[in-house]
Structure 1
């Protein structure tokens, strides 16, 4: 317990970094948690219904009803952004711990967990970009009549 009280910033950085890494891996493994977007048919039906109600209200001389906007928080974006923010905070805590000449193991732990979280997110983004490029190449190859390889 004495080590933690002497190395507050680096210990806090390790805690934030570990939470961020666990949060990122958990979200990648078990996500996405938000509901899928509504089908195109239901969106078009809602818009047509709103236009119909507006026209009928206009013919009667009434004010058309204002459409209520529902903006629910996207839990996937919240999890991604909070994990990245915790990783950055862990790196800042590691920097502050280094400036205060705290224990090197604590500083290295905070830098490892924070950096691993950011590297994990960057790796996932890179893999998504590469898969998207390969998919586009396959689509263009199929449309042009060439072989995909």
Structure 2
């Protein structure tokens, strides 16, 4: 592990995940995997120097729960800085997402990158787990 602060690259993100014990796939500058049954992507946003970790529920939530879900999301955003959550209306119902954007313009050393990726993944998976328990049973 290097203490040198360098640019965050897809290869470094993949190495950090491997060190954490995760195997990920790679396609078009995006890493992807399933964590606790939730699909997750990890990528460097090119428009701005940010790292995106985004996960979603594998099954849509019922549209009849939309008001309750939005109210719950608002409460979560007031209580916690991240992850951010949102829903998207689809023909099958409401797709629920949780994501973390992390600025990376200054670079990171290997330990910082590993900690940031791990924290982002844990917060995204925790939010998705909470949403599943709260809304999937309806």
> TM-score under structure 1 normalisation?
0.26
Q: Which has the higher helix share?
A: 1
Larger radius of gyration: 1
Structure with the larger RCO, 1 or 2 (CA within 8 Å, 6+ apart)? 1
TM-score, with normalisation over the residues of structure 2? Answer: 0.28
